[in-house]
Chain A
Amino acid sequence: MGEAQKGLLSVIEKLKGSTEQEVRIVLLGLDNAGKTTLLKSLASEDVNTITPTQGFNIKSVASHGMKLNVWDIGGQRKIRPFWKKYLENTDLLIYVIDSADKKRFEETGLELSELIDEENLKGVPVLVFANKQDLETASPASEIAEGLNLHTYRDREWQIQACSAVSGEGVQDGMNWICNNIVNKKK
């Protein structure tokens, strides 16, 4: 993108005349991880009628005086190549994992490490939700963090948060981390 275009976009941003801080969050993870469920529960919407996402969903959530624009993109294998089209200007990545789906831990780890290498996500903080903790077979967050080698990330803030998108447990803790982090980052 050339200088001129960047300038124009900033002009257009100002046109909105909004003083509220807007934050762009991208929600990624394998299919069936619970991204859309998480998104809907963040927006206080019904989570019982969710079907696999073929495209993407957007919700704007007000939190800590900020407007969080959360983009949830389908996680099916055939949709993953499109993920990178949504990464530009992202302030934060939320990566969702089905903690009970041990068979796909490796696959989800690979996808995450590819994202981490994306130019557009350079230095962008990552929150990993170890979702579906309500299931008996769920692995604990610490174990998942180890499997993902999160502790080797040196170039960005990261956090792993155990949660259940269905019961809502842990979700707010994750959001608090996000808000504290974004505030620190942006000011």
Chain B
Amino acid sequence: MAEEDSEWIIESIVGYLGSPEWVIPVTDFMEHKCTVFDDEDENKLSYTEIHQQYKKLVEKLLENYMQEVGINEQQFLDACTSPFAKSQSLQDMFQPVLATDDFQVFRSLMVQKNMELQLQALRVIKEKNGALPECLTDGVDVMTELEQQEMKILEEVLKKSKEEYDEEMSRRLLSEKKTGSTSSRSSNKPNTEDDEAREATLTSKQSNSSKRTPDSGSSSIQCRVLPALRSPTKSSKSSNASSHQTVEQSDSREAAAEAYLEEAHREAGFSKPYTELLPSEQEQLQQRAAYLRQQRDKLHALKKEQQKIRQTAALEEPPASPTPAPTANSEISAEEKKKLQKRKHLADKLKEEVIKK
């Protein structure tokens, strides 16, 4: 096949992988199914069933796409194996496609998604209650000052991520109306779903974590989001900007914050297949690390800003009372208290996984 053919087909495929026709069903699938995926070394039997469903979904989507664009499998294959398809940004976009054939890639995508939702959930709780309820924060005093700072940065990141997420949701709704999409996602998708879905996530995650055997976690948890923050590195901003254009564009929905988390996961060897690296994969990892450093720098800038604001605020008003408990207690019903208690476990677990590691 002629090179030019490959080129336009690749462009078309990339366009498709960034379009709502692909992004919405795939993201929906991941968000709904990721809650059982923890980062234990051992896989649950249920993962296999979910992976099968994912395969079917992607196969169906790609078949529809090829039919629509009028290319056959051979053309698709030729395009995908052409030199154009080998660029880094494209390889990244192909991850969700690769996940159909590679369980370990799939698993790491799902674990990552679950972690994101957990963190978003914490943020939603905080937003609802003005602050994290006391039962969620009373472990805070054992955190070091550094960890507290990191928690704040994380919250900031999540806030950004949430804003962008909401933006994206409304954009999706718009584009859905325009295209009259017939995708099978449930109709109660709009913004209200956000909180509910997160809550569902919380409950099911809770039941997972209670099943967790006490000694099984320590060696298998490889998620190291925060230590990365502790080692600020020199900026390498401009040099990498161009190679990541596509990534950043495609990421606009969950944007920098999410990308940062994602990259952090990967950099930490979160996805197992990367343990035995080929030269090309190593290059890939290096590029990711560079991107990650960029994100880290942004976060540090953000952190400084926050500190300035806090300092100014501290000058203007006396520190808030450290014991808001009485009022809070009288306002929260017993049932709510129970719920919150459960969430404390989650918060602890998150702390353990995200902060301590």
- Residues of chain A whose beta carbon lies under 8 Å from any beta carbon of chain B: 4-5, 7-18, 20, 46, 49, 51, 53-58, 60, 62, 67, 79, 82, 85-86
Contact = CB atoms under 8 A, between A and B. Distances in A.
Interface string B38-72: 00011111011000000000010011000000000
B147 to A, nearest CB: 28
Nearest to B47: A55
Contacts of B73: 4, 7-8, 11
A60 B276 contact: yes
Contact of B42 (A7, A55, A60): A55
A58 B104 contact: yes
B219 A49 contact: yes
B231 interface: no
Contact of A13 (B63, B101, B213, B275): B101
A15 B276 contact: no
Interface stretch (B75-83, B163-171, B345-353): B75-83
B276 A62 contact: yes
Contacts of A10: 77
A36 B272 CA distance: 17
Nearest to A6: B73
Interface residues of B, number: 36
B63 A4 contact: yes
Nearest to B79: A11
Contacts of A17: 81, 86, 91, 280
Contacts, number: 77
Interface string B92-125: 0010011011111000000000000000000000
B97 A15 contact: yes
A144 to B, nearest CB: 28
B209 interface: no
A36 B304 CA distance: 48
A58 B280 contact: no
Chain A CB within 10 Å, residue with most, of B48, B213, B275: B48
A60 B276 CA distance: 8
Contact of A57 (B43, B97, B273): B43
Interface in B4-53: 41-45, 47-48
Nearest to B95: A15
Nearest to A12: B101
Contacts of A55: 42-45, 47
Nearest to B91: A17
B98 A15 contact: yes
B282 interface: no
Nearest to B62: A8
A49 B77 contact: no
A12 B216 contact: no
Nearest to A85: B48
A105 B275 CA distance: 38
A86 B45 CA distance: 10
Nearest to A18: B278
Given A11-B76, A15-B98, A60-B104, 5 more contacts: A11-B77, A16-B98, A54-B42, A56-B43, A67-B276
A168 B54 CA distance: 38
Contact of B102 (A16, A62, A86): A16
